[in-house]
Every structure is written in structure tokens, then in C-alpha cells.
Structure 1
Amino acid sequence: MGGTMQTKYTKWLIQSISYLGLIFTGWLVYDLYSKGIFTDGDALIRLVKGYGVWAPTIFVIIQIVQVVIPIIPGGITLPAGAYIFGPLWGFVYNYLGIVIGSLILFGLGRRYGRRIVDAFVSEKTINKYIRRLDGKGWRTTFALLILMPLAPDDALVLLTSLSDMSWREFTWIIILCKPATVFAYSMAVMYGADWVMRMLS
């Protein structure tokens, strides 16, 4: 009896923490969006720099949020990271946030299935890839697409969650292939930061 009660309490605690996390995330997204963080590169830079030593942590959280919620454009956060922290540390923080965010997004896709895919992925993108998910070549196709800087990564992650790709396979593809995109943006900032920021603002 004691073991059963303890198990129920543990499940209740985990669920409560999960709900609180969702509430906090929702509030954070609303607060950041109201400040123009996800639409204005300059506003993002000012906000992150204002946190001083906590700036890297705040930036990683913002990067995770923009991955998990695909309606937020990631074209601002990637170059902003390199612009704020420099090419090396900008790459590290961008990479960390994107990998964590991609894993969370994949998990949400596995948990909620087609409902979340339909909510966040355009019908055009779904129709383009949905028939290829069950094919044997999807793992290779997914890896190659993740290597491309302009590919719809977040949509591809959600779509891949509907396939039979294992967590292990997905994780390794993200870890090994995602650095190419992040590196490309970092180099763009290193050799033309002002030009990149003007293009994205």
C-alpha cells in the first residue's frame, strides 16, 4: 500500500512540475514577444546583454523556446548569438539551445502526434514530406536536410516524430548535423555582422 501511495505521489509531483513548467514557458514567451524579442534583433541583443553574467543562460533559454514554438522565427536568434557572444561562444550557446529544443520538440511530437504537427506545420510542408516518412531513406534525407541552413528544421523535427525513427537515431542526427547550420551563421556574423543584422531586422 505504501509503495502504491508513493508511486501516485511521485506521478502527481512530476505532472505538477510539468504543468508549472508549461505555464512558466507560456508566460515567458508572451513576455518576450510583447517586448519584441522574437521580431527585433536589436531588442533581443539589448535584453540578453542586460543580464550580464546570466546572459548566456538567458540566451540558451530563448533559443530553446524559439525551437519548441515553431511560430517564432529562428532567423534572428542564430545570428544574434554570434553577434552578442562572438563566433565561438555564440556557436556554443546556439548549438546547445537548438539541440535541447529539438529534443523537446521531438518528444512533444511523439507525445501528441498529428495534432501538434497540424497545429505548427503548414499543410504545404506536410504534403511535401508526409509520404516519405515511412520510407527507408528518410533517415538519410532527414540528416541531409538538417545540414542545409535554409531547411525548415522545426517542421522536419515534428514530422520526423511521426516516423519510426528511434530516439537514439534522431539524437545523433541532430548532434552531428546541426553544427553545420550554426557554424554557417557564425561565420556569416564573423565576416559581415552588420550586413546580416540589417538583413534580419
Structure 2
Amino acid sequence: MGGELIPKPRWIVVVGLATLLAGAGAWLAWGNGEAYQFVLRLYEDQALLRETLHRWGILAPLIFIVIQALQVVVSPIPGDVTGFLGGFMFGQRLGFLYSTIGLTSGSLLAFWVGRKLGAPFVRRVMNRAAWQRMRFIVEAGGAILCFIIFLLPAVPKDIACYLFGMSPMTFWAFAIISTLGRMPGTWVLSAQGAKTAEGQYFELFVLSAVVVAVTLPLYYYRHRIVSWVRRRGQVETAPKRATGRGLRK
């Protein structure tokens, strides 16, 4: 990567996202302690978050998108609650759209941070067990593996964003694949929130039952699925590595 010129469109995306999120984070953390505590309360209190979004009026979609992006960058913040709330507040379609924009923005920023700051930084923000369990992403970084990780439930996607930034995967490939992988889960949360807001409890029950029926086996076998994709990627890349070594000789 040394001396490599980064395409201008990518810089526009990254600089825009970094400026927006870093500015918001810096203001909350250092400029106003009360505001920082208030944002933490928003993540913990769903009713307060809903009421606050109502008060923000026309700015509510933008604020919600920033909140979704921050919950990717700041991994301990849970995303399921905010995804559900997006559908509850804005309806199924708009909630899905705003959540997708926010999640994609946060994922790209985390990917960029992982690429620029590398292992020393990423290992500091991850616990040792998570690093040992997921560091294979750094060497693999395949498209299928990326899609599976972002599709499966209960896989730490926020951490994966940083690790894929350290992998051979390109910026735009990650942007497309991770977004597509997140979409089914994002749509489900938005639909559940919207149906709750509309009082369509029977449809909510049916949707939730279908989701449980589909995701429960995926959740139970998630480690086996990821391991299978990982082994497959290693088998496919082994001949290429051997060929590369042969050519160098």
C-alpha cells in the first residue's frame, strides 16, 4: 500500500464520513460531558430515544443515521434496538433505508480505520479472545466469507469491519458485500418495528416466528458455517500462493 494513490471518490466518501462522525464524537466526549451522558442514555432507554427523535423533527432521519453509524464504530453499543426503532419511527421502508445508510457509513469508516491504523490499534480495541477467534479474517478476506459473516446472526460484525480493513479486500468490494449481507437482518428489524408501531401484532408474530425458524439453525451452526467457508477459501487460495512462489523462483 505504500505510495499507492487512493482513488478520489473513495477519499471523498471516507473523509466525509470521518469528519461527520469524528466531529460528533469529539463534541460529545470532550466538548459537553452532559451531552455524552445523554447519548449513552439514548442507547439504554428506547422510550427516551423515540421521544427525542420526535422532538428533532425534520433532523430526526439525519440524527438516526449518525446514531446507527456510531453503533458500528463503537462496538459495545447494541444495534438491534436502534434497527427496530428505525422501523417503529419511520416505517418499514424509510427505517430500512436510514438504517442501511447509517450501518454502511459506520462499516466503511471502521474498515478504513482498520486499514490505516492496522493491527496495533485493532488489537487494543478487541479483547484477546475475540482476536484469537476472528483474526483469520485478516488473511482470508474473501467475498463469500464477508457476505456470510454479515448475514449470519450473532456474529460480531462491528469487529469484523476493522478486521476486513486489514485484509486484502478492496474498499468498494467490502462496501457492496457487507451492505448486501446486512440487508436481510436490517429489513427484519425495520419490519418488526413498523408492525409494532401500526399495531399489526398478528403479522408481527408470524414474521417473528418465520425469522426464528430460519435464524435459529443459522445461529446454532454459525461457527461451523464460518469454518467451512474459511477452509474453502484456504483451499482455493493455496494453488495461487504456490504458483506465486514458483514464479518468483
Q: Same fold (TM over 0.5)?
A: yes
Structure 2 counterparts to residues 95-134 of structure 1, below 5 A: 95-134=100-139
SS of residue in 1 equivalent to 2:169? coil
SS of residue in 2 equivalent to 1:70? coil
Change over 3 Å in CA distance of 1:49–1:149 after alignment to 2:
farther
Q: Which moved more, 1:66-75 or 1:52-61?
A: 66-75
Partner of 2:37: 34
Give the structure-1-normalised TM-score. Answer: 0.77
Partner of 1:8: none
Between the aligned partners of 1:21 and 1:178, the Cα distance in structure 2 is 21
- Higher relative contact order by CA 8 Å / sep ≥ 6: 1 or 2? 1
Q: Identify unmatched segments of 5+ residues in structure 1.
A: 1-14, 197-201
Deviations 1:148-183 (CA, angstroms, capped at 9, x unpaired): 243211011111111111112211112322211201
Q: Identify unmatched segments of 5+ residues in structure 2.
A: 1-14, 205-249
Partner of 1:81: 86
Partner of 2:143: 139
Change over 3 Å in CA distance of 1:21–1:175 after alignment to 2:
closer
Report the identity percentage. Answer: 26
Deviations 1:72-99 (CA, angstroms, capped at 9, x unpaired): 2222211111111111111111011011
Greater Rg, structure 1 or structure 2? Answer: 2
Displacement of 1:124 after TM fit? 1.8
**Residues 112 and 165, structure 2, Cα contact 8 Å, conserved in 1:** yes
* Residue 164 (1) aligns with residue 174 (2): no
Deviations 1:57-113 (CA, angstroms, capped at 9, x unpaired): 111111111112213222221111111111111111101101111111111111111
Displacement of 1:190 after TM fit? 3.6
**Residues 82 and 186, structure 1, Cα contact 8 Å, conserved in 2:** yes
Partner of 1:152: 156
Number of equivalenced pairs: 179
Letter in 2 for 1:168: W
Q: CA RMSD in A?
A: 2.7
Displacement of 1:23 after TM fit? 5.0
SS of residue in 2 equivalent to 1:37? helix
SS of residue in 2 equivalent to 1:59? helix
**Residues 145 and 151, structure 1, Cα contact 8 Å, conserved in 2:** yes
